[in-house]
Every structure is written in structure tokens, then in C-alpha cells.
Amino acid sequence: MARAYTPKVLTANRLIEGDVVYLNASGEWVLFHDQAWLIEDEAVANTELAKALKLADLLVGPYLANAEMKDGTPIPTHFREEFRTKGPSNYIHGKQEAQ
Amino acid sequence: MYSYSQFDKEFNQQRVSQFRKQVERRVEGALTEEEFRPLRLMNGLYLQLHAYMLRVAVPYGTLNSAKMRMLAHIADKYDRGYGHFTTRQNIQYNWPKLTDVPDMLDALAEVDMHAIQTSGNCIRNVTSDHFAGAAADEIEDPRPTAELLRQWSTDHPEFAFLGRKFKIAITGSETDRAVIKAHDIGLRLRRNAAGEPGYQVIVGGGLGRTPMIGKVITDFLPRADLLPYLESILQVYNVLGRRDNKYKARIKITVHENGIDTIREMVEERFKVQRAQFGGFDQKLLAEIETQFAPPAYVNASLDGFNAAYAADGAFRSFVDTNLAEHKNENYAIVSISIKKHGETPGDATSDQMRVMADLAEKFGHDELRISHEQNVIIPHVHKSNLYDLYKALVGADLATANIGKISDIIACPGMDYCALATARSIPIAQKIAVRFDELKLENDIGDLKIKISGCINACGHHHVGHIGILGLDRAGVENYQITLGGDGSEDAAIGERAGPGFSYDQIVPAIERIVHAYLELRDSAEETFLETYRRTGLTPFKAALYPETKIAAE
């Protein structure tokens, strides 16, 4: 039996601002993880990653990050990705300013 | 202080305009990220976790009020109103936009500053003793040589694409405040028996995943031989250094694998060729540079006011006793300004604080400032008659924390709060330790104790040479902190010993507290420092304090 695929979100940094963005289900790049598209199919994830890698004038370094659904919202499974959703812990800078 | 020549200015401006065009081509899509990345790194621009980061060199840690004010201006105009001083005497801006960076570099060029070679596999910003030119124990000011090295290494075509980054540090004192034994090359100015100036050359030191203390390749190198000798070392490294494995590419591994004797023989062989190519222009240039590092015009004034304030104001007395170092002029003092207020981020200064420090340096300090690798700011030449006024101004700017060399004067890398390479956070650990020991009111009793924290194995926070070192790792998806003890970054350099299994984010501060309480119990007297106690007793009693449950299980 095939190993179960860990769901992913597709994430990158924006070229000009450098901030973290996520692909949503409408194909837009959004700032917040809870709006991200949780991709549960490996083939779909890889196709979307390949498409994102071609958006060189918009994004830097797109990659797939593990995530899971909790109370209807995708959340990161690793602390590094969790920090990327917010910003640093020493100042209220980055995305957490708007949250 | 060195002022840029017309050549320096034109070169710097050319680099900015080149980079401006590179950014434009990247934004237009003419350059891919793969093509652009090495170009931005050569100009100190990283992409971190949440944003870009621009790393600006403060060559050998020296700056003046105009430069410091420009750093403040850049922080306000292009960033979030602060900057982060690093262990490499750089300043990092954490939030620039890609398209603003050429303007930031233009602003830096206005005050003879840049971000060149603060990244990449080249010779990096040369670092030095932050008390250079002022320390009572100094044999000679190392900064003219450091400036010569800056000019020689900037855009040096042969060494622009080394196997790995290459860091040089230089000191002019027997007391090593520049951690020269943990650099690819460490230089110590000294004189031979005939009184002639030269250098002790140490090679193959470094921290990171394979920490090594550098080895002496020559005990005395005549001054005029410096550049050809360094070129010979770099050429041997370029030939022997490994390019098959990034983790074995630093010169410390080359020295370790081939042995210092082989390296020395090869360097000396190569030196015969290189030496012949230096006809004396470098020494003429060094002599010209030296004239720009003349000591300040020292003033004479009564010390009565200082002595009276010292006797009357306890907080001032504490500041003087903790944050001042001995100056070569007995009526002067070296003032260290702690950028480590308890609970704040080590090394972060706001633009307002930068402007206050610039003003104070201009008013009371012969317009000189230094950045230390310990992430503090130094006003190196302050007449003692001005100390009390300077101190009161520091109090007003929240910059008078009297903790230099103490347990809360912690080095911490940016860690996973900013850095894309980090495996765990460093900053909040430093904040919590500082706050905890401030609450316990034990700081002065504990005395000299250096804690250094890195958020990954690359060791930007110098944890291997911390008396207590903390390394943040990712263990199965959870932050975990390993402790090393007995490290030392001084002239008696030593790599700390790993104490045992790591601690969780919540357990690391109590673990540090147990170590410190063990020290207070174990020390011979209040005069015996943590490091002296550790060297006397070894790891065992500290391990017992750190892991009490293990001890119980063994009994």
C-alpha cells in the first residue's frame, strides 16, 4: 500500500518585499497561512510547485511545506513554518502586526 | 580614522550602480533568482525567513558619528527603526525591500561605507580588537594593517571565488579581544627581539560544525612580508582546500587534514614566488594609512568632578566599575555601552539610540566609535572629566546598563526569529536568561561569565567559546538546546565541552540556573571566576548539577 501523503501548503517569499506568501485554492498568492490551500494530492502539489517555480518575477524559492487541517484551517506542523506565519518573537513585526 | 581616497569612493559608487542595474534586471525578469543570488550575496543581501536582510560592514569595527548617524537614518527610512550589531562587527537590517537596497547602498557610500564581501566565498570584513587604538595593553594599533587588508582583499580577483568564506581577525594586544584563534587567519601584532614590528600568524581556526583552535604557522613574520605571506596561504588553500564537500571546505579542515607542517612548507615555498612580486608599494600605502590613525589630540582637565561623582553616585560607580576599560592615556577611559539591557534583544539598537551614541562620541569621545564582536558599542577615547555627563546622557537613552562581561552580556545570533539557516531560536533564550538573573540579583556576585548562544551549528553566536555555550537545534521537530561548558575566546582559547543531553525551550533557563548555582557553591572564593572554577574542577560537578536525576539513578 502506498504511503499516505502528508498534506502540503505551497509557500515562497515575494520577490520585492521578501515576505512569506502561500498559494490559495483560487491560485492567488496570499499573506496568511490560514487562507492557504491545503493540497492533499501529491501529483497536484508537484504540478503547482512546478508552476510556481516559473513565477520568477513574483516569487523566490517556492517549496512545499507540511501542514494539517485543524478546526477547518490549515496549520503548520513544524515550528519553523509556524514562525514564518507570524514573524519574529522579539518584536511585533512581520505578519503578526496585522493579526 | 581612514578617509576614503577618490579611488575608494569611485569604486564604491560603481559597485552600487552595478548592483542597481542587477536589481532592475532581476525585477524585469532578465535575471533568474539562480543568476541573481550570487550577485546580491556579494553585496551583503540575504533573503531570510520573513524578509530580505542587508548586512553592512563596519570595517574592523571602527566608525565615527557621521557613519553612525547614517546607520540610524537608514534604519528609519528603509527599515523598522533599528539595526542589529553582529559578532562580525557588522550591522544587519532585517526588513529592507529589494528595490530599496540600491538606495540604502548609495546612502552608505555617502559616508564611505558598504556591504561588499559581507557574504559569499571570499575574504570577509576584517575584524579587530574593539579597543584598538585605545587599550592600555596594546603594543600597536592593528587598524592600519586591517585597513590595508580591506583594500587588498576588496575585489581581489584571485580570492573572489574561494572554496568557502574566509575570515581574518587582527589584534595588537597580547590580550585577545578579537577571538583570533577562531578565524581562518588570526594575526597578532608583535615585535621581535630587535624591536622590529611584525605579526604572529595563526591559521586554521574556526567554529561552526567542526570547531578548531587555530595553529601558529609563523611566530614572527616581518611587517613587509604580510601581504605576500597571506597570498601564499590563500593560494595553498585554493590548491588543497576541498571543494567536493561544503562542510569540509574551510581552511581549518585543510590544515587539519594536511597538518600544519605540510601547510607551512607549502606556504613558504609559495612565498618565495609571491614575495618577489611585492616591490614595496604596499608598505608605502601602509605608511600613508598609518598617518590617518594618529591618536586623538588628548586634552588635559581636572579629575575632581569625576572623583566626586564616583564617590557620591552609586549607580555611576557601578557603571564605571563594570563598563570601563583601561585606556593607554591614564586620564582617559574606554567606555563600553551595553546593547544588552535585560530583556532586550542582544545587539539591537534603535535609531534614536544610535543618534545618541553618535552625539556622545562627537561631544565627549573625539568622534570615534567601535562595534564589538560581543555586540556592544564602544566610545574608545573619553576623558574621565566627561564620564559623568556621558553616563547621565546614556541613562536618558536607556543605554546605561552596567553589565559588560557579566552573565546578561550575552552574545546571541538572530536565530530562527530571522535567519533562514537557523534550527532554533536564540534571542528569546538570551532575553529570558538576562531577565532571570536580574530578578535573582545575582549578576554582580557571579562576576565575569560569558554566555554565547547560536541558533544552529554554524555558530555565528560563538557558542563553542562561551564559558557557557548554548546551541539551539531541531530535534525531531522540537527546539532543543545543547550546553557546552569551559569554552574560551581569549588568548587561552578553548572549545567548550558538551555537558550532555540537550534541554527543551522551557527547560534551558532553569538548566543555566543550576550551572550557575553549582559554580557559586564550587568556587574557592568570590574572586575565582566561573572559567577558573570550571578549569579546576572539570565537567563532573557541573554535570551532576545539570542532571540531578541521573545522579539519583546512579546511586
What pLDDT shows up at residue A98? 81
* E strand map for B320-393: 324-326, 332-337, 348-350, 369-371, 377-383
Residues B480 and B533: their CA atoms lie apart, in Å, by 27
The model's pLDDT over B94-123, given as tens digits with 9 standing for 90+, comes to 999 999 999 999 999 999 999 999 999 999
| DSSP structure string for B192-219 | -TT--EEEEEEES-B-TTS-B--EEEEE
3-state secondary structure of B275: helix
What pLDDT shows up at residue A99? 74
The answer to whether residue A53 neighbours chain B at the CB level (below 8 Å) is: no
What pLDDT shows up at residue B554? 45
The answer to whether A32 touches A86, Cβ cutoff 8 Å, is no
Tell me the CA distances in angstroms from B108 to B72, B379, B467, one per residue in order: 11, 21, 36
The answer to whether residue B279 neighbours chain A at the CB level (below 8 Å) is: no
Q: Where are the domains of chain A?
A: 8-98
Q: A 1-30 residues with CB below 8 A of B?
A: 13, 15-20
Closest residue on chain A to B54 (Cα): A18
Residues of B in contact with A79 (CB under 8 A): 416, 474, 477-479
CATH number of the B311-396 domain = 3.90.480.20
The model's pLDDT over B237-272, given as tens digits with 9 standing for 90+, comes to 999 999 999 999 999 999 999 999 999 999 999 999
The answer to whether residue A95 neighbours chain B at the CB level (below 8 Å) is: yes
CATH number of the B411-554 domain = 3.30.413.10
**Are B142-291 and B311-396 in the same CATH fold?**
no
Q: Is B130 exposed, middle or buried (0-12, 13-18, 19+ CB in 10 A)?
A: buried
Complex ipTM value? 0.96
What pLDDT shows up at residue B270? 98
DSSP state of B378: E
The model's pLDDT over B41-76, given as tens digits with 9 standing for 90+, comes to 999 999 999 999 999 999 999 999 999 999 999 999
Q: Where are the domains of chain B?
A: 6-110, 142-291, 311-396, 411-554
The answer to whether B128 touches B63, Cβ cutoff 8 Å, is no
Regions of chain B where pLDDT drops below 50: 552-555
DSSP state of B173: B
- Beta-carbon contacts of B489 under 8 Å, excluding residues fewer than 6 positions away, are B176, B179, B181, B182, B450, B462, B465, B466
Helices (H), B259-336: 260-276, 281-291, 304-312, 314-323
- Which CATH superfamily includes the segment(s) B142-291? Sulfite Reductase Hemoprotein, domain 1 (3.30.413.10)
Topology classification of domain B6-110? Alpha-Beta Plaits (3.30.70)
Q: B 449-508 residues with CB below 8 A of A?
A: 474, 477-479
Could you tell me the sign of the dihedral formed by the alpha carbons of B88, B90, B96, B99, in that order? negative
Mutate to test the interface with A, among B49, B54, B456 (most CBs of A within 10 A): B49
The model's pLDDT over A22-54, given as tens digits with 9 standing for 90+, comes to 999 999 999 999 999 999 999 999 999 999 999
Min distance A73 CA to chain B CA atoms (Å):
21
Q: pLDDT band at residue A2, thresholds of 50, 70 and 90?
A: low
